[in-house]
Amino acid sequence: MIVVEGKTKITVPDTLTITKKDEVFYNPKMEANRDISVCVIQTFLKNYKREEFLICDPLGGSGARGLRYANELEFKNGIVKVVINDINPKAVKLIKENIKLNNLDNVEVYEGDANVILSKNFRMFNVVDLDPFGSPSPYLDSGIRATITKNGLLCLTATDTAVLCGRFKKPCVRKYNAFPINSKDCHEMAIRILIGYAIRVAAKYDIGLKPIFSHATDHYVRTYLLTQRGAKKADEALEKLGYVKDIGGDKVIKSLYEGYEKGFGGPLYLGEIYDKEIVNEVYKIAVERNYSEKAKNILKVLCDECDINQLGCYDIHEICSNIKKSAPPMTTIIEKLKERGFKVSRVHYNPKGIKSDAKLSDIIEVILEATD
Ligand SMILES: C[S@@+](CC[C@H](N)C(=O)[O-])C[C@H]1O[C@@H](n2cnc3c(N)ncnc32)[C@H](O)[C@@H]1O
């Protein structure tokens, strides 16, 4: 069967279970993820001066992601070239068919292990996009080595959110060398654990990583990390790591260099996980291209959310349950906080969550007033 995403046609297997058992993997629910990916990478091409912009999609599946990059990225001053790879021969066959279906001449296809193709291409790609089953950790070292060291982009998807969100502790230590946090905003903490781990892996190569865009949607988290060359940049990135303890929605923070203390989660990234300008531009591109409603909805909330630099969010239902009050409408809480001069936004990953520069005590005051 043929599906259409953005401007790209993709032949996918007629029957899909969305598990590893499928002949070739394609998940229609990830369309919004791919829409956003095209828009984030598009922001890089506006001021890019060289003639060739190289992208590697080493875990390609049906090729949906890489093909969309090859077909939909607009680059007036040069060409975008995409390398797509998969270990599954049936996937490689389908990717080749999909290249023909879209009349593309800017895609190369390979069959083999992702780590092999990445390792063979040292500092080659402007963008490396790791979109595996589960955790990207097994491909991180080679992914970082295959990315250019200055203003390269490492895109990471992790679908092992149960691990990152604290349902299972041991695999989180194994895959990310970090303790998870099982809080109401664990999806943001999951993004931060993933970024924190990537920063530690990159640091040994004297590369700093700076998050420019992140989101947690459905069963996955996704982040985009800019490469910055040099030991100083790597040190600066490490300085933004630390440990966090959640106490009923409030956060206690310790720096990486203070060391671990029992009951804390981490190491994880404590800095901003978005670049505001890029988030706004990504939204603009998604609207211009009329990409999926789901992508536009995520991006719309993110535009507000990234204006507030709060670690995690306040879960209004959790706070109400702690103070034994029934939860007032979210709109009432938001209005009342704004009336008091606080910044406030909904969060894209939790319908009961808000981000604000208000303290927990201010939020409680507003809830009490609204429930009087
Ligand atoms: C989640 S799917 C990729 C989905 C795809 N990026 C998309 O957006 O539709 C993961 C893919 O990785 C492939 N894969 C698994 N292990 C691999 C390895 N070691 N090297 C290369 N490909 C691998 C699988 O065959 C599968 O097609």
* Residue for token pair 């149960």: 162
Question: Is the Cβ atom of 265 under 6 angstroms away from ligand 1?
Answer: no
Q: Binding site residues for S-adenosyl-L-methionine, as ranges?
A: 34, 65, 86, 113-114
18 alpha carbon – ligand 1 mean position (Å):
12
Per the CB < 8 A criterion, the answer to whether 301 and 348 are in contact is yes
pLDDT along the chain (372 residues), means of 10: 96 87 90 98 92 97 97 95 98 98 98 98 98 97 98 97 92 97 95 98 98 97 98 98 92 95 96 97 98 98 95 96 94 97 97 96 95 82
- H or E stretch covering 318: helix 316-322
- Res 248: pLDDT: 83
Residue 22: the pLDDT is: 85
66 close to ligand 1 (CB < 6 Angstrom) = no
- Supply 116's token pair: 């092999």
Q: Is the distance from the beta carbon of residue 314 to the nearest atom of ligand 1 less than 6 Å?
A: no
Predicted TM-score (pTM) of the model is 0.97
Length of the chain: 372
Domains of the chain in sequence order = 2-279 (3.40.50.150), 314-371 (3.30.56.70)
Question: Which amino acid does the sequence have at 180?
Answer: P
Cα–Cα distance measured from residue 150 to residue 138, given in angstroms and rounded to the nearest whole number:
23
Burial of 10 (0-12, 13-18, 19+ CB in 10 A): buried
Q: Is 270 in the pocket of ligand 1 (CB under 6 A)?
A: no
Pocket lining: 25 vs ligand 1, CB cutoff 6 Å: yes
C-beta separation of 277 from 213 below 8 A: no
Question: Would the ipTM clear 0.85, i.e. be above it?
Answer: yes
Check if the beta carbon of residue 368 is closer than 8 Å to that of residue 325: yes
Q: Where is the binding site, in residues?
A: 34, 65, 86, 113-114
Q: What is the DSSP letter of 125?
A: B
Contact between residue 62 and residue 34 where contact means Cβ atoms under 8 Å apart: no
The first and second tokens of residue 177, run together, are 């060398």
Q: What is the largest CA-CA distance in the chain?
A: 66
The per-residue pLDDT for 315 is: 96
* Cα 110 to averaged position of ligand 1 atoms, centre (Å): 12
For residue 372, count CB atoms less than 10 angstroms from its CB and return exposed for 0-12, middle for 13-18, buried for 19 or more.
exposed
Report the first-to-last Cα separation within the chain, whole angstroms. 57
Atom of ligand 1 nearest to the CA of 64: 9
Task: Looking at the CA of residue 88, tell me the nearest atom of ligand 1.
Answer: 25
pLDDT score recorded for residue 8 = 98
Q: How big is the CA angle at 21 (ends 93 and 6), to the nearest 5 degrees?
A: 55
Give the 3-state secondary structure of residue 95. helix
Say what the pLDDT of residue 77 is.
86
CA angle (200, 185, 227) in 5-degree steps: 30
